[in-house]
Amino acid sequence: MELWELLRADFVINLLTPLIYIVFGIFAVLVLPRKPNAIMGYRTPMACKNQDTWVYAHKHFGKQAIIFGLVYILLSVERIMQVDKEAYSWVIGVIIAGQVISILLPLFSTEIALRREFDKNGLRKSTGQNAAKTP
């Protein structure tokens, strides 16, 4: 495949979604907002219960987003580089569907992990008490 073909807009756009997801994952793990807020962060009702659920959700979601983003970049590049021109639009459709799935899986995974680790009030199930309260 020639360089100009690699720089096609559709190729770049199909890699942009997983790259953005990886950046958000790194941000969630390394630079998460200090406390639950209404502006930024992984803001689901369960994640915003208290500081403990907030930190747990960001760490879990960030790791999942990085993993799914990396896997999806590898799969996207490999598929696009091997496709012939007749099947190209079909492959791009599959890639976009896969990107949507790769965005939703970490969200569902994080919510499931939160519910396994915390009760409905945001208290850890293993200790029965909250490690940190929301200021």
Predicted pLDDT at 79:
63
**Rg (the chain; Cα; Å):** 19
Q: What does the pLDDT average to over 114-128? A: 88
Q: Mean pLDDT for the chain? A: 80
Backbone angles phi and psi of 124, in degrees to 5: -60, 135
* 78 membership: H or E segment, kind and range: helix 51-82
Comparing 71 with 81, the larger pLDDT belongs to 71
Binned at pLDDT 50, 70 and 90, residue 7 comes out as low
What's the pLDDT at 117? 95
Q: What is the pTM of this model?
A: 0.75
